[in-house]
Chains A and B, each alone.
Chain A
Amino acid sequence: MDSAAPRSTSALLLLLLLLLLLRAERTRGAELTFELPDSAKQCFHEDVEQGVKFSLDYQVITGGHYDVDCYVEDPLGNTIYRETKKQYDSFTHRAEVKGVYQFCFSNEFSTFSHKTIYFDFQVGDEPPILPDMGNRVTALTQMESACVTIHEALKTVIDSQTHYRLREAQDRARAEDLNNRVSYWSIASTDEQTPAFCKLAQSVAGAPSASVMGSRFFYRETNVQRISRNQSFPGPTSRLPDVRVYLLPWR
């Protein structure tokens, strides 16, 4: 009993150790959505082993013209990927050098629009579901391989759901923006993207009054005309002729 107890506890500790190893090794990928202010740059870094393939997918969800600059640098400082004003892209690369790779998103070309950017950075392959499956000697049974197939298919489904969710978020942001703009355009909103609408509104309401004012201005009596009018008719201009009534002295 005494010898069994330490053995079981050490086995338990070994299992816990394996679990902890798994926790440290399992999460090798990040999927984040963050807001990038105008004229700002944000960088993320990840430690990658040599020979491991990593992939970066990014998409701009809201803001401005829905574009962003992105570049990826290896540990030696070489730029292995650089794109300007891209809306979405996918980049994969096999790491030749072990070290810290950094990828940055830049919104420095924009002065007023802040952007929301989604990125998915995956390193390596998905680890097996149980720690000791990496060194199994027998092939998978039919059930297990069916499970693996279903798992891969479901991962594709989840990925396409994410893709549609991002697209829908982009469209919904635009639709809500349009809704707000329609509400406020009649009060001559100062939104920088609707000068055309403002001008139209002002011209529609302003055109008749402008033409009236224009006509009044056009047909006003000028000073020259007033003076010439006064001079050409020296006498009273509009006065009725004198009616003199003579009373004849009749008897």
Chain B
Amino acid sequence: MAGVGARGRLVMGWPVLLLLALCAAGARGLYFHIGETEKRCFIEEIPDETMVIGNYRTQMWDKQKEVFLPSTPGLGMHVEVKDPEGKVVLSRQYGSEGRFTFTSHTPGEHQICLHSNSTRMALFAGGRLRVHLDIQVGEHANNYPEIAAKDKLTELQLRARQLLDQVEQIQKEQDYQRYREERFRLTSESTNQRVLWWSIAQTVILILTGIWQMRHLKSFFEAKKLV
């Protein structure tokens, strides 16, 4: 009994270790460099009720070793998300590795800004930070193996679920397209109206100035005894 229990714990041991190892070395793909107080903003134009998931990981530049340290605890990144009207949707400080999620309630351009405000960077002169970033929008944010495991779906059901999500995203994008077209049309009509009014005003001013010119010159020439 005790032997089985011990063997069971041993069997359990290595996947956990492997899991932890993977957690530590999660490669995220695209990365860029950011200065000390630099703010880097990304724009996401999304329809409403769309979920956006962002993952980031930061690494600090080590001047002595001239490499980027694999992971530096104590670094912090401030993530700020603004909706199309400029209202702040999310404004939080995360650690050196973080994951932020938000769902849009108005369609339009959302701005995701990242900047580091860690005091440790001041110690390293010419501090440079490497930020791995990954932003997934809408249907791409879904993790299908997780959904399959949670809802116990077969492969075919999972594929059907993926197709349903894709079609839903297309539908939302089309609604957003309709909203954008209306805004564009209003802007164009406003421009048209303003141009019309301005040209009418211009013509009236021209006529009035012409009349004034004629009268003034006539009286001027009469006074000078030329007419």
At the interface, yes or no: A235 with Cβ under 8 Å from chain B? no
Contact flag A212-B217 (CB < 8 Å), given A3-B8, A33-B45:
yes
Cβ–Cβ contact B220 & A186, under 8 A: no
At the interface, yes or no: B120 with Cβ under 8 Å from chain A? no
Contact count band on B: 35 or more
At the interface, yes or no: A97 with Cβ under 8 Å from chain B? no
At the interface, yes or no: B5 with Cβ under 8 Å from chain A? yes
Cβ–Cβ contact A130 & B173, under 8 A: no
Could you mark each residue 77-104 of chain A with 1 if its beta carbon is under 8 Å from any beta carbon of chain B, else 0?
0000000000000000000000000000
Could you mark each residue 194-227 of chain B with 1 if its beta carbon is under 8 Å from any beta carbon of chain A, else 0?
1100100010011001101100110011001010
Cβ–Cβ contact B202 & A182, under 8 A: no
At the interface, yes or no: A53 with Cβ under 8 Å from chain B? no
At the interface, yes or no: A193 with Cβ under 8 Å from chain B? no
Cβ–Cβ contact B191 & A3, under 8 A: no
Roughly how many angstroms separate A20 CA and B177 CA in the complex, as a whole number? 36
Cβ–Cβ contact B32 & A44, under 8 A: yes
Question: Which residues in A have their C-beta under 8 angstroms from that of B42?
Answer: 32-34
Roughly how many angstroms separate A43 CA and B31 CA in the complex, as a whole number? 9
Cβ–Cβ contact A144 & B11, under 8 A: no
Question: Which residues in B have their C-beta under 8 angstroms from that of A19?
Answer: 143, 145-146, 149
One of B88-96, B121-129, B155-163 contacting the partner: B155-163
Closest residue on chain A to residue B26 by CB atoms: A24
Question: Which residues in A have their C-beta under 8 angstroms from that of B158?
Answer: 129-130
At the interface, yes or no: B183 with Cβ under 8 Å from chain A? yes
At the interface, yes or no: A157 with Cβ under 8 Å from chain B? yes
Cβ–Cβ contact A44 & B30, under 8 A: yes
Partner of B159, one of A7, A28, A147, A172: A147
At the interface, yes or no: A224 with Cβ under 8 Å from chain B? no
Cβ–Cβ contact A44 & B159, under 8 A: no
Contact flag A130-B155 (CB < 8 Å), given A175-B191, A179-B190, A179-B191:
yes
Roughly how many angstroms separate A113 CA and B160 CA in the complex, as a whole number? 46
Cβ–Cβ contact B45 & A165, under 8 A: yes
Contact flag A158-B173 (CB < 8 Å), given A6-B7, A144-B155:
yes
Roughly how many angstroms separate A29 CA and B226 CA in the complex, as a whole number? 84
Closest residue on chain A to residue B201 by CB atoms: A186
Question: Which residues in A have their C-beta under 8 angstroms from that of B5?
Answer: 2, 6
Cβ–Cβ contact A209 & B31, under 8 A: no
Roughly how many angstroms separate A165 CA and B26 CA in the complex, as a whole number? 33
Question: Which residues in B have their C-beta under 8 angstroms from that of A59?
Answer: none
Contact flag A30-B144 (CB < 8 Å), given A129-B158, A144-B155, A179-B194:
no
At the interface, yes or no: A202 with Cβ under 8 Å from chain B? no
What is the interface of chain A mostly: helix, strand, loop, or mixed?
helix
Could you mark each residue 127-170 of chain B with 1 if its beta carbon is under 8 Å from any beta carbon of chain A, else 0?
00000011111000001111011000001101110110011011
Question: Which residues in B have their C-beta under 8 angstroms from that of A219?
Answer: 220-221, 224, 226
Cβ–Cβ contact B156 & A165, under 8 A: no
Partner of A182, one of B45, B137, B198: B198
At the interface, yes or no: B48 with Cβ under 8 Å from chain A? no
Cβ–Cβ contact A208 & B213, under 8 A: yes
Contact flag A144-B156 (CB < 8 Å), given A2-B1, A10-B12, A45-B31:
yes
Cβ–Cβ contact A171 & B184, under 8 A: yes
Closest residue on chain B to residue A100 by CB atoms: B31
Closest residue on chain B to residue A10 by CB atoms: B11
Cβ–Cβ contact A14 & B15, under 8 A: yes
Question: Which residues in A have their C-beta under 8 angstroms from that of B174?
Answer: 161
Roughly how many angstroms separate A213 CA and B198 CA in the complex, as a whole number? 26
At the interface, yes or no: B105 with Cβ under 8 Å from chain A? no
Question: Which residues in B have their C-beta under 8 angstroms from that of A52?
Answer: none
At the interface, yes or no: A131 with Cβ under 8 Å from chain B? yes
Cβ–Cβ contact B31 & A186, under 8 A: no
Q: How close is B215's CB to chain A, nearest CB, in angstroms?
A: 10
B binding-site residues for A, Cβ under 8 Å: 1, 4-5, 7-9, 11-12, 15-16, 18-19, 22-23, 26-33, 40-45, 55, 133-137, 143-146, 148-149, 155-156, 158-160, 162-163, 166-167, 169-170, 173-174, 176-177, 180-181, 183-184, 187-188, 190-191, 194-195, 198, 202, 205-206, 209-210, 212-213, 216-217, 220-221, 224, 226
Can you name 11 A-B residue pairings with CB atoms under 8 Å?
A2-B4, A6-B7, A6-B11, A10-B12, A19-B145, A20-B19, A20-B22, A30-B30, A31-B135, A35-B43, A208-B209
